[in-house]
Structure 1
Amino acid sequence: MKKVTVLAAAIATLGLFATEASAQTTTPQTAAQQGQTQGQEEKKEKVTQDQLPEPVKAALKSDTYKDWTVGEIYKVAPAEGQAGAVAVYEVMLTNAQGQQGSIRIDEKGADASAK
């Protein structure tokens, strides 16, 4: 009986870790999907890490993205006619497990996924 209880606890624990891993990979992919729908109206220009503003570089070096490797970077100009809109940087990321995602960061280094 004890073996069955221990086995059930082990399976539940593994299920919990699998759910957490799935949730972590879903967040960047959701941002990528949002970027794709917004990208239809905006102009993208490929840039290098050296061309990023300092606040964006600092955001990418933060603890939030320390386990991710930066891939392609695009500067996304706002759609014409948007008053006060600023450029956003779309950054493609890959983690140690090979999972990919993207984030959007504004020129001030703030999360711009919802913008």
Structure 2
Amino acid sequence: MKKATFIAAAIALLGVTSINANAQTATQATEQTQQDTNKEKVTQEQLPEPVKAVLSHETYKDWTVGDIYKVKPEKGAKAKALYEISLTNAAGQSGTLLLDEAGKDASAGK
């Protein structure tokens, strides 16, 4: 009888754990979808001049620009749009720049 009770308790615990994991996954997917709706894919030509100037700087001469997204500020926020720029170099290293419209690093605020 003790074995049956133990097994039933273990199955119940696994079921609750599984439900929690599924709920967390669903929550993360919802958050990702909300973030994606604030992003708009743009081209390098559509970037503001200060952002273009940063990308043409000596620091990034060996980097290839990948996807660029304009991240719109949340409604009611006084913040301005940010630009999320993916970069890759010849060695296969990758990184992401987050710049404001003035070409300043905005990653500290995120």
* Range of TM-score over shorter length: 0.5 to 0.7
CA RMSD of aligned residues (A): 1.9
Report the CA distance between 1:42 and its aligned residue: 6.7
What TM-score do you get using the length of structure 2 for normalisation? 0.64
Structure 2: distance between partners of 1:80 and 1:60? 28
1:67 and 1:96 in contact (8 A); partners too: yes
Which structure 2 residues correspond to residues 1-115 of structure 1 after superposition, within 5 A?
A: 40=35, 43-82=38-77, 84-115=78-109
Question: Where do 4+ consecutive residues of structure 1 move more than 2 Å?
Answer: 39-42
Structure 2: distance between partners of 1:59 and 1:42? 26
Unaligned runs of 5+ residues in structure 1 are 1-36
Unaligned runs of 5+ residues in structure 2 are 1-31
SS in 1 for 2:80: coil
More contact order relative to length (CA 8 Å, sep ≥ 6) = 1
Report the CA distance between 1:66 and its aligned residue: 1.7
The AA in structure 2 aligned to 1:62 is H
| Larger CA Rg, structure 1 vs 2 | 2
Report the CA distance between 1:113 and its aligned residue: 0.8
Structure 2: distance between partners of 1:41 and 1:92? 15
Cα deviation 1:1-37 (Å, max 9, x = unaligned): xxxxxxxxxxxxxxxxxxxxxxxxxxxxxxxxxxxx8
